[in-house]
Amino acid sequence: MAGKKSIPQERLPALQQIYDTLCFYLGFYDDEKHMVRQILDSEFVKPYFKEYRRDYLEITTQLEDIDCDELFGWCRSVNAFASPRYTSSSPNKEGWTALDHAAHFLVHVLHFSWQNDGEWTHGKFDPDNDQNIESDTEFHQVWAVLRYLQAEWEAANMEGWEVSGLDETFANLLSSEP
């Protein structure tokens, strides 16, 4: 899709509510909420969402809502953080599923952040270490960023966009935190 479409005015209140939940989940409150927008537009997130948008959102006919637990299990089962399929900067994406695209986004955002003193600093994905909740928290936070950015894109580009389901997903964020 050429050019950025604007989000219809009537959809903005629903997105604002979801944005506020994202801010709270990431640990930014009232006078700090603008910092979340800075993260979303930063070099740590923006280029990877641009790729996700180009290679998944703009070409698929049926978008999927990526469940965090499903993505977490997928990344764990395919060893996504060590697999060239997801760590490569230019993998062959033929036949990729929504989970593949989401895993690629997540792996790249976290790796880039870890290596460049970004927002997420833990340094590794370690789901088998019960005492290391920081790894799980970072995973959940980047998933939430992806879901929010996808919601913005959908609100701007999908005629039948509805917040139902998505608002529940974000309302459940706080209860799903590791």
pLDDT digits (tens, 9 = 90+) for 52-70: 999 999 999 889 888 999 9
pTM of the model: 0.91
Chain position carrying tokens 């978008």: 63
* DSSP 3-state of 5: coil
Q: What angle do CA 23, 81, 79 make, to 5 degrees?
A: 120
Residue 83 predicted with pLDDT over 80: yes
Q: Which residues are within 8 A (CB) of 77 and not within 5 positions of it... i.e. 6 or more apart?
A: none
Distance between CA atoms of residues 93 and 48, nearest Å = 14
Average pLDDT over residues 30-40: 95
More confident residue, 48 or 173: 48
Q: How far is CA 89 from CA 33, 49, 92, 104, 126, in A?
A: 31, 13, 10, 9, 22
DSSP assignment string, 112-130: HHHHTT-S----S--TT-T
CA atoms within 13 A on the CB side of 173: 27
